[in-house]
Chains A and B, each alone.
Chain A
């Protein structure tokens, strides 16, 4: 019986490690991405975006997104608004310099996909589902998604005021292999 322990262990290790090779293709974020937000009164973009994207359209379950937005790169088109947005009243860039999203589950949904993961803004982490599409083009492609969050859920700004509670995010991220 003892003689079987090592062969069994070897088989188990081999079999277990084999599953780690079933991963989605890794994509590099290309220039020209757009992370835009809009609400009743404020709109703008984030210019700093990076992260790791592993995605396989045929096997979304093996896919993984781990991306961050540099909050200091916010641009509303107005210098005063930019300063205000970075202040402790809104994003508090000094304390929370990044918006972080890490996926937990990616599934096919209709003609596109849906990613559910932890979205962390202003130090508040919430499970968020983002519908998106992937348009393949040659060796690259573009992820396109749009979703709405409630800024008060993330304690961004004070409730009420001129800026609406609902903030729409439009994301377009070209990628290459």
Chain B
């Protein structure tokens, strides 16, 4: 079970990272806001991967602890945690040489939902109950 969850976490994390990188590029080209200094490609992919693996561990533990209700609680927690992390981009202080820091949350907030989105999309392919 853990192997499947971990694989799902890694793949959904990587896909979320790729989606994040594409979104950052689109954001940059459309609005001209370049935050590659604070959110480079490697950091976007690594943080998405981190989220995916963390979700896998959380899923496995909740599934073990709560049995049938584990998945329901996990889905709820994953959504709540993703939503709660939205506050972080508003509080972050960027280097002063970066233009338009007010556009930074607009770039990273959608990315916070990508791991959950990828997880929920791919889960039926990995874990069938």
On A, residues with C-beta under 8 Å from B are 36, 44-45, 75-83
* B residues 68-98 in Cβ contact with A at 8 Å: 90-96, 98
Tell me, in angstroms, the Cα distance from A153 to B119 when the chains sit together. 55
Residues of A contacting B92 in the complex (Cβ-Cβ under 8 angstroms): 78
Check: B58 CB closer than 8 A to any chain A CB: no
Bound CA span A81–B96, Å: 12
Interface centre among A45, A78, A80 (most CB of B within 10 A): A78
Q: Which residues of B contact A79 (CB under 8 A)?
A: 90, 100-105
Measured between alpha carbons, how far is A77 from B92 in the docked complex, in Å?
8
Query: Are A78 and B101 within 8 A (Cβ)?
Result: yes
Output the least CB separation between B14 and chain A (Å).
Answer: 30
On chain B, the residues within 8 Å of A44 by CB distance are 96
- Chain A interface helix/strand/loop/mixed: mixed
A80 and B92 alpha carbons, distance in the complex (Å): 10
Q: Which residue numbers of B lie inside 8 Å of A, CB to CB?
A: 90-96, 98, 100-105
Q: Does the CB pair A77–B96 fall under 8 Å?
A: yes
Give Cα A36–Cα B91 distance, bound, in whole angstroms: 20
Point out the residues of chain B lying under 8 angstroms from A83, CB to CB.
102
How far, in whole Å, are A83 and B105 apart by their CA atoms in the complex?
A: 14
Which A residues are CB-close (under 8 A) to B93? Answer: 76-78, 81
CA distance A36 to B96 in the complex (A): 10
Q: Given the complex of chains A and B, what is the CA–CA distance between A78 and B105 in angstroms?
A: 10
Distance in angstroms from B49 CB to nearest chain A CB is 27
In the complex formed, the residue of A with least CB distance to B94 is A77
Task: Please name all residues of chain B whose beta carbon is closer than 8 Å to the beta carbon of A77 when the two chains form the complex.
Answer: 93-96, 98, 101
Complex contact B96–A75 (CB within 8 A): yes
Rounded to whole angstroms, the CA-CA distance of A44 and B95 in the bound complex is 9
The docked-state distance in angstroms from the alpha carbon of A81 to that of B93 is: 9
Residues of B within 8 A of A78 (CB): 90-94, 101
> B91 — nearest CB in chain A belongs to which residue?
A78
Jot down 29 A-B pairs with beta carbons below 8 A, ordered by A. Answer: A36-B96, A44-B96, A45-B96, A75-B96, A75-B101, A76-B96, A76-B101, A77-B93, A77-B94, A77-B95, A77-B96, A77-B98, A78-B90, A78-B91, A78-B92, A78-B93, A78-B94, A78-B101, A79-B90, A79-B100, A79-B101, A79-B102, A79-B104, A79-B105, A80-B90, A80-B102, A81-B93, A82-B101, A83-B102
Highest count of chain B CB atoms <10 Å: which of A36, A44, A75, A80:
A75
Alpha-carbon gap, A36 to B93, bound state (A): 15
Q: How far is the CB of A90 from chain B (nearest CB, A)?
A: 16
Give Cα A76 to B100, complex, Å: 10
Q: A80 to B91, alpha carbons, bound, how many Å?
A: 8
Residues of A within 8 A of B95 (CB): 77
User: Are B98 and A82 neighbours in the complex by a CB distance under 8 Å?
Assistant: no
Closest to A42 in B: B93
> Contacts of A45 on B, CB cut-off 8 Å?
96
